[in-house]
């Protein structure tokens, strides 16, 4: 199975750590985030892995050559990162031909990736791993767990391509940055710009394309985007390591 790891981010909120290394190589419990994600993917059966790079790309590539020589690299060459949608579109030559899982490098979780892959519905353009969590922004799903829109409950903003859309009729779930995408997405991306969010794409395409959510029960997840979250992740890893030695 194939996977794409987003590792192009600047990691601005983790400075000064990321003044000299990319966020992907910031360690959690002595292990770089990128290594943790790759090992998790490999354990779940993803044996064809692509890592997208931008910031300190040379350091990421040197790390991969040493630790994971079979992993391929999609090196973004623009003046700034292409964001998630642009990163997928840019990596098309390395991804087309079969479905692929997308995983953010700064996500630490107990998500069962093999189970997610086995739950993809026939014909689905994308399958999003979602969960119940307190947040400002949510994807909205109907009773069949098909994506219908998006909302920011703090600002009251609602987005959907459906007519007469009433967000109160739908279930609000948080997206965890892990999703499986059919390679049928690439013709649909052709007219999109170089830089865009895959979230924007999903919201716009939801009315005409089958995009589904899969709810993860008892999900433990940390988005390591700040020093506080990094410290939380360190505690989580330490706890799991202690538990595994009992």
Q: Quick: pLDDT tens for 129-146.
A: 999 988 899 999 999 999
Element (H, E) at 128: strand 126-131
Mean pLDDT for the stretch of residues 36-62: 91
3-state secondary structure of 185: helix
What is the per-residue pLDDT across 166-179, written as a single tens digit (0 to 9) for each?
A: 888 999 999 999 99
Question: Which residues lie below 8 Å from residue 53, measured CB to CB, with a gap of 6+?
Answer: 7, 8, 22, 24, 60, 61, 73, 74, 75, 76
3-state secondary structure of 107: strand
Pick from 179, 87, 50: which is nearest to 125 by CA?
179
CB-side neighbour CA atoms (13 Å) of 17:
18
Query: Is it the case that residue 107 has pLDDT exceeding 60?
Result: yes
Q: Residue 202 pairs with which residues in a beta bridge?
A: none
Average pLDDT for the chain: 89
Mean pLDDT for the stretch of residues 6-32: 85
- How many CB atoms within 10 Å of residue 137? 15
What is d(CA 2, CA 120) in angstroms, rounded to the nearest whole number?
A: 14
The pLDDT value recorded for residue 67 is 92
Buried/exposed code over 105-131 (b: 16+ C-beta within 10 A; e: otherwise): bbbbbebebeebbeebeeebbbbbbbb
What is d(CA 143, CA 233) in angstroms, rounded to the nearest whole number?
A: 34
Residue 13 — pLDDT band, cuts 50, 70, 90?
Answer: confident
Residue 215 — pLDDT band, cuts 50, 70, 90?
Answer: very high
Q: Residue 137 pairs with which residues in a beta bridge?
A: 152
The pLDDT value recorded for residue 243 is 43
Q: What is the pTM of this model?
A: 0.91
């Amino acid at each position: 199975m194939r996977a794409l790891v987003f590792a192009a981010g600047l990691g601005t909120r983790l400075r000064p750590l990321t003044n000299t290394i990319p966020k992907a190589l910031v360690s959690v419990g002595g292990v770089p985030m990128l290594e943790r994600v790759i090992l998790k993917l490999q354990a779940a059966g993803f044996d064809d892995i692509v890592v997208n790079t931008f910031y300190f790309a040379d350091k990421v590539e040197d790390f991969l050559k040493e630790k994971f020589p079979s992993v391929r690299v999609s090196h973004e060459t623009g003046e700034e990162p292409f964001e998630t949608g642009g990163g997928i579109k840019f990596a098309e030559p390395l991804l087309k031909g079969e479905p692929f899982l997308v995983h953010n490098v700064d996500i630490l979780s107990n998500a069962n990736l093999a189970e997610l892959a086995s739950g993809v519905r026939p014909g689905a353009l994308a399958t999003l791993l979602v969960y119940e969590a307190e947040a400002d922004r949510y994807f909205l799903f109907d009773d069949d767990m098909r994506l219908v829109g998006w909302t920011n409950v703090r600002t009251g903003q609602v987005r959907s391509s459906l007519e007469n859309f009433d967000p109160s009729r739908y279930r609000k779930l948080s997206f965890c940055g892990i999703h499986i995408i059919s390679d049928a997405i690439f013709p649909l991306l052709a007219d999109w710009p170089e830089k865009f969010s895959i979230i924007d794409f999903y919201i716009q395409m939801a009315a005409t394309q089958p995009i589904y959510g899969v709810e993860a029960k008892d999900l433990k997840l940390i988005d390591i985007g700040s020093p506080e979250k990094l410290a939380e992740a360190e505690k989580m890893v330490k706890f799991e390591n202690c538990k595994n030695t009992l």
